[in-house]
Chain A
């Protein structure tokens, strides 16, 4: 096990820079999830950690060793690929023991370690099979087993679950988590699925366009997103946003709707801001704002309602059963303490509570 330090790392392909100085500190034993939309550079960063891509600038250290110039095999990492990349001409046992064989470990030791990991992953019955004779979930487990057999300092995962169906994904998610609890190996896990990030991570790193937008614990990111991008990316359904201005200490939407803030934001008079509110922080309130119902989607436990409020479409999630029809009016209020304000131009969150 080891900590990982990524310090101002850059990556360019020719003229094109795709990572613009990324810094992340990962503690020993931590489960860190890199999350972000497609093309933001997650895989590139992971592959640089693994040693499959050159580092164009900055420094990566595993433990107290700078690994910039080291070959993958000298870095003591193991990686699970999105496509699994199992060796098709080798049995499950050979696949899992390949790294030990290359390291010229004694045969019995290899067999023992493979057997132990296989038992942990429920693969003992499949050791003689070839990858083509396994289901998707089993292949996924073999890929993980291949990484675990080596007992590396750091595990790297690149979207390991994206080829599985929804149900299996949930199951494998918790299996990966359990294995992490058992082994406590430092893990860097790449995904573009924010639910995976929320449920698995000790720490989430939100990336966007080659930079880090925010680093924090899942709930920290959920409750205090640093900017509009993180606010929109973390959470499903996404946070609602309404454009407007600060006027008279409160928020005024573009169409003149007044929304009360928990504090008088007088310092920001006339500033363009974007108001953000999570769907579950809308309350049914007869004295609240009148909003037109666009759609009603009951999911059983709760009801999702798409509303038009202050000229914007916003989503509310309510524990109550809503029996209204589209076109009717629903009265809702926003929990003032849960309102976030973001700067109209930069999209950065305004910490108006402190400022006020």
Chain B
């Protein structure tokens, strides 16, 4: 089948490239490795100096603490509900907004488009109070909907921007052909444009999900009840005034990292892109 065109390899020797790549990967992965390692160490081993590289007796004790003696499972559920909810909402709204921006010409489009980005430019500290006041008036403090809406607001601008440029790169003729074949605008969107935008949709999904999954400040302010607290807050709760249960923090971190890792691995195939090959020209 037709392979992607590749550039000729630069003149660097193979071993140099290989060892460079290995080094880079090691540096990037080291924190994760340390996290996993620490999560199976005993408390004593955690504080040993110099640090030990392999625990004598790996223990599941930290995971037991996290899973059965803490609020982490509940927070995990909260995080899932809030992240999935806000990602889904942002994705749906971004699809329609971006399609409009990408395919139609209307008065004030450039202004509106730059307005979308302005939201992104405001510093967190500047919008946190107005948002809190708004949520309180709407009775949404300490609710799932409160955080879902807030997260949607912060992820929507960039999502719209990303999707707009993705849609613009899909040849208009494909939609024109579909229109001539008898498709309505919505059918064009759902049967032609969206299937061809899967890589773009995947990027937006991953971006929105990771952003909301890791968000701390808004969660800290708008979700003070343990029924809606999210995982980042949960991690912080292991630190008390006097000590921090690092083992539990590390185990909880592993738990928190898993969904992101799974998300990335499942989407990886889509990021490769190149879905419109063969659409146009000979």
Contacts and interface: CB of A to CB of B under 8 A. Distances in A.
Contacts of B183: 73, 102
A172 to B, nearest CB: 11
B279 interface: yes
A35 B181 CA distance: 26
Interface residues of A, number: 34
A49 to B, nearest CB: 11
Contact of A89 (B173, B187, B196): B196
Interface in A131-147: 131-137, 139-140, 146
A4 interface: no
B281 interface: yes
Nearest to B177: A85
Interface string B176-194: 1111111100010000100
Contacts, number: 88
Given A81-B173, A81-B176, A102-B181, A88 B187 contact: no
A79 B196 contact: no
A98 B279 contact: no
B187 A84 contact: no
Interface string A70-98: 00110001110101111111000000001
A99 B183 CA distance: 8
B269 to A, nearest CB: 15
A133 B2 CA distance: 8
Interface in B260-282: 275-282
A50 interface: yes
B181 A99 contact: yes
A139 B2 CA distance: 15
A56 interface: no
Interface in B232-282: 275-282
B23 to A, nearest CB: 37
Contact of B282 (A81, A98, A99, A164): A164
B181 A98 contact: yes
A113 B281 CA distance: 26
B244 to A, nearest CB: 51
A163 interface: yes
Contacts of B58: none
Interface in B89-103: none
B166 to A, nearest CB: 15
A99 B275 contact: no
Given A50-B180, A72-B179, A85 B173 contact: yes
A84 B171 CA distance: 11
A70 to B, nearest CB: 12
Nearest to A134: B278
Which of B192, B196, B277, B278 gathers the greatest number of chain A CB atoms within 10 Å? B278
A133 B3 CA distance: 11
Interface in B1-27: 1-2
B173 A130 contact: no
A52 interface: yes
B171 A73 contact: no
Nearest to A158: B173
A85 B182 contact: no
B46 to A, nearest CB: 52
A289 B179 CA distance: 61
A87 B180 CA distance: 13
Contacts of B277: 88, 131-132
B182 A87 contact: no
Given A52-B176, A102-B183, A163 B282 contact: yes
B174 interface: yes
Nearest to B280: A83
B181 A85 contact: no
Contact of B195 (A89, A103, A132, A164): A89
B278 A85 contact: no
A141 to B, nearest CB: 12
A81 B177 CA distance: 8
A164 B187 CA distance: 31
B280 A73 contact: no
A79 B177 contact: yes
Contacts of B179: 52, 72-73
Given A52-B176, A88-B276, A89-B195, A83 B281 contact: yes
A139 B280 CA distance: 9
B282 A140 contact: yes
Interface string B23-53: 0000000000000000000000000000000
Given A135-B282, A163-B282, 4 more contacts: A85-B173, A86-B280, A89-B195, A132-B277
Interface of B: 1-2, 171, 173-174, 176-183, 187, 192, 195-196, 275-282
Interface of A: 50-52, 72-73, 77-79, 81, 83-89, 98-99, 102-103, 130-137, 139-140, 146, 150, 163-164
22 contacts: A51-B180, A72-B180, A73-B181, A73-B183, A77-B180, A79-B177, A83-B279, A84-B279, A84-B280, A86-B177, A88-B278, A88-B279, A99-B182, A102-B183, A131-B277, A131-B279, A133-B278, A135-B282, A136-B282, A139-B282, A140-B282, A163-B282
